[in-house]
Structure 1
Amino acid sequence: MSYEVRAKEGESVTFSAKYRSAAWARDSVSWSTLRFLERGPLVRLVERAGLKVVGQYGDWDGSLVGDGSPEIVLVTSP
């Protein structure tokens, strides 16, 4: 599998993912556009949806969230 960024506009990134297998007659390509938010706007969006943020992490290993965190992982409850 390989990725190629096709466009960046504001908070959005459009990219393609190419999947290849020797067992397939041809490659498969998937296109996606993702919106990347900073922590503050993300928390506000989740709260507007009616959820309560009960935990915040900077990666899937449970590390603290901060400016250099590779991820924003929110734990929510109704």
Structure 2
Amino acid sequence: MPFQHVQPMPGMPCMPGQPCIPQETVIRNVKLANAYVPFQNMCNLFSPIEGLKKGTIFPELYSPYTGVDKRSRPPEYE
């Protein structure tokens, strides 16, 4: 079913001649997710300068990216 041409909602402009996508239905009083946030043990900490360099003061959270540059790999064929 193609999108119908509807008037844009206030604050949501559409390009002239392009169809507008209607706003999705708002669902009220529905719990979408629960956050699980464990407490941090502040036993071992990086120094402030080291924390700035590493992006965290918690050694347990320090996980530098060590991936390979994907542009340098040959293409994979099936």
TM-score range, shorter chain: under 0.3
Greater relative contact order (CA < 8 Å, ≥ 6 in sequence): 1
Q: TM-score, length-normalised on structure 1?
A: 0.19
Larger radius of gyration: 2
